[in-house]
Amino acid sequence: MGALSDLLGGFTTALTPINLLYALIGVIVGTAVGVLPGIGPAMTVALLLPLTYGLDPTGAFIMFAGIYYGGMYGGSTTSILLNTPGESASVITAIEGNRMARSGRAAQALATAAIGSFVAGAIATALLALAAPKIVDVALSIGSQDHFAIIVLAFVATTTVLGASRIRGLASLGLGLTVGLVGIDHTTGEQRLTFGIPQLADGIDVVVVAVGLFAVGEALWVASHLRRSPLEMIPVGQPWMSREDWRRSVGPWLRGTALGFPFGAIPAGGAEIPTFLSYVTEKKLSRKPEEFGHGAIEGVAGPEAANNASAAGTLMPMLALGLPTTATAAVMLAAFQQYGIQPGPLLLKREPDLVWGLIASLFIGNALLLALNLPLAPAWAKLLRLPRPYLYAGILAFASLGAYSVNGSTIDLLILFALGCLGLMMRRYGLPMVPAIIGVILGPRADQELRRALQISDGDLSGLVNTPFSMTVYGLVLLLIIWPLLRRVLRPTGGSNESDP
């Protein structure tokens, strides 16, 4: 009860006209900057932080929450419309989202993303307000071995995205894993596959890989076929979500939230793995799994919810313990310090008004974003009416601008174009894109967590399975592998190709 009345107090702090105006400004500029691929929410916030310097702490944090959510949402918008994810958490959204857009369902994809983000954000923020200390305790007990177990589970789940040809799917996964290896190995400090180019030392960002393979590769592919295939416009269908769309979105929103929030709370959990797990879960549970790969609304609703819930989750160790476990949280920490506020385990005791005001402003920023973007979704969708040559030229310019603007370095552009050519070749030879992206996301993490776990156990392999959590996850993995085999043994008379659950 105490938390609830505190939260209401927070709303009274946050809900003044001037603070609402700050939130509105934050949402608008956050979205505007967040659409650039390569500029994720952390960078958006860092770049726009100076805008908030003149304000009082409450006003500043409200604008900040707006910028943050705006930046996140901006990344999803371009992901769906242009296949150029603005940040790593919306890479998975691009897979189905862009397919939906190209079959004339852009407005629905944007709407399910916006509403899903709102639902997930609201639930996660409520959990943040009510249960933070308890969840944080559990989250901290998650170690590298547990983390690695989840990644193994995710690797097993990649089999569902390999596509029709296993060989091609695995080749694509291998390509992704190789790209993921590039950079300094953080355990020993050795460089891998950098060929003496210092710009490669930090590795290749998954956003650059996604934009290169998805957007640039697609543009080249379309360009190489323009003469042969007729110039057809992308249809723009119904502007609003149908009842069917709603029915198919609700489940993924809730499951996405359930996956994303705890992940965000784990130090270094991140949003990429939960968005991917949400995607494969929805594909498994869907009554129309054949729609996946051609624009299934569940594949947008789930990952978008997971992404937003995870964002709220990352604030938990930050507000409850003062641990900035993500780049965004670290930037936020800097913002706190500007006002002479030291975040940490004592923050809630020292500055209750500020914390509850911040949590309330997360709700407000979230609601404003929905109010702003839902009516705009049909308008954005019209963008796709542009004739293809202009549309793809625009996408190329936009993708290049994004890659270049991060560091102002031409090498980043060359990397983007090289990946674009790789994307073209993969399309030419029928390699699916998704496993490559999953390889880039999971590979480096698997590498790091496995070695961390082994370092901590001093090389003892039992250190990988010595927690109840990791044992449970491996049990699940085993079940997933054995289940299809078992079914075949139990029902040897055929029907083993059924996909009914």
Partner 1 sequence: MNRRYRAGLAVALAAMLTVAGCGDASGGKSVTNLRVMVPTGPGGGYDMTARTAAKVMEEAKLARNVEVFNLAGAGGTVGLARLVNEKGNGKLIMQMGLGVVGASYANKSKAKVSETTPLARLIEEPNVVVVPDKSPYHSLQDLLNAWKADPGKMPGGGGSSPGGPDHLATMLLAKAAGIEPKQVNYVTYAGGGELLGALLGKKIAFGVTGAGETTDQIEAGTVRVLAVTGGTRIKGIDAPTLKESGVNVVFTNWRGMLAPPEISESDRKALLKLITDMHGTKQWQDALAKNGWTDAFLTDEKYAAFLKSETERAAAVLHDLGLG
**Can you give the binding site for partner 1, defined by CB under 8 A?**
29, 32-33, 35-36, 42-43, 45-51, 53, 82, 140-144, 184, 186-191, 198-199, 201-202, 267-268, 317-318, 321-325, 327, 329-331, 333-334, 337-338, 340, 342-347, 383, 394, 398, 401, 405, 407-409, 452, 455-456, 458-459
Which residues make Cβ contacts (< 8 Å) with residue 324, sequence separation at least 6? 318, 330, 332, 333, 343
Closer to partner 1 by Cβ: residue 282 or 412: 412
CA dihedral 38, 153, 99, 78 (to 10 degrees): -20
- Measured CA to CA, the distance from residue 457 to residue 460 in angstroms comes to 5
d(CA 355, CA 393): 45
Per-residue CA distances from 109 to 255, 259, 311 (Å): 18, 20, 20
Cα 146 to Cα 138: distance, rounded to the nearest angstrom: 12
Measured CA to CA in angstroms, residue 249 lies from 113, 157, 209, 457 at distances of 9, 21, 28, 43
Least separation in angstroms between CB 214 and partner 1: 16
Q: In terms of CB distance, is 69 or 363 closer to partner 1?
A: 69
Give one DSSP letter per residue of 49-110, joined into a string: GGGGTTS-HHHHHHHHHHHHHHHHHHHHHHHHHHS--SSGGGHHHHHHHHHHIIIIIHHHHH
CB nearer to partner 1: pick between 201 and 482: 201
CB of 61 to partner 1, least distance (A): 16
Return the number of the residue (79 or 278) whose C-beta is nearest partner 1.
79
Residue 33 C-beta: closest distance to partner 1, Å:
5
Q: How many CB atoms lie within 10 A of CB 116?
A: 30
CB of 143 to partner 1, least distance (A): 5
Query: CB 135 → partner 1: shortest distance, Å?
Result: 13
The secondary structure of residue 386, as a DSSP letter, is S
Residue 63 and residue 103 in contact, taking contact as beta carbons nearer than 8 Å: no
Contact 268, 325 (CB under 8 A): yes
- The answer to whether residues 185 and 191 touch, using CB atoms and an 8 Å cutoff, is yes
Q: Nearest approach, Cβ of 456 to partner 1 (angstroms)? A: 5
Minimum CB distance to partner 1 smaller for 2 or for 189: 189
Q: Which is nearer to partner 1, 82 or 119 (CB)?
A: 82
Residue 135 vs 434, nearer CB to partner 1:
135
The distance of closest approach from Cβ of residue 126 to partner 1 in the complex, given in angstroms and rounded to an integer, is: 24
Rounded least distance, CB 455 to partner 1, Å:
5
Nearer to partner 1 by Cβ, of 299 and 324: the residue is 324
Residue among 63 and 305 whose Cβ is closer to partner 1? 63
Query: Which residue from 315, 204, 201 is spatially nearest to 269, judged by alpha carbons?
Result: 315
* Secondary structure, 3-state, 234-260: CCCCCCCCCHHHHHHHHHHHHHHHHHH
- Work out how close the CB of 350 gets to partner 1 at its nearest, in angstroms, rounded to a whole number: 10
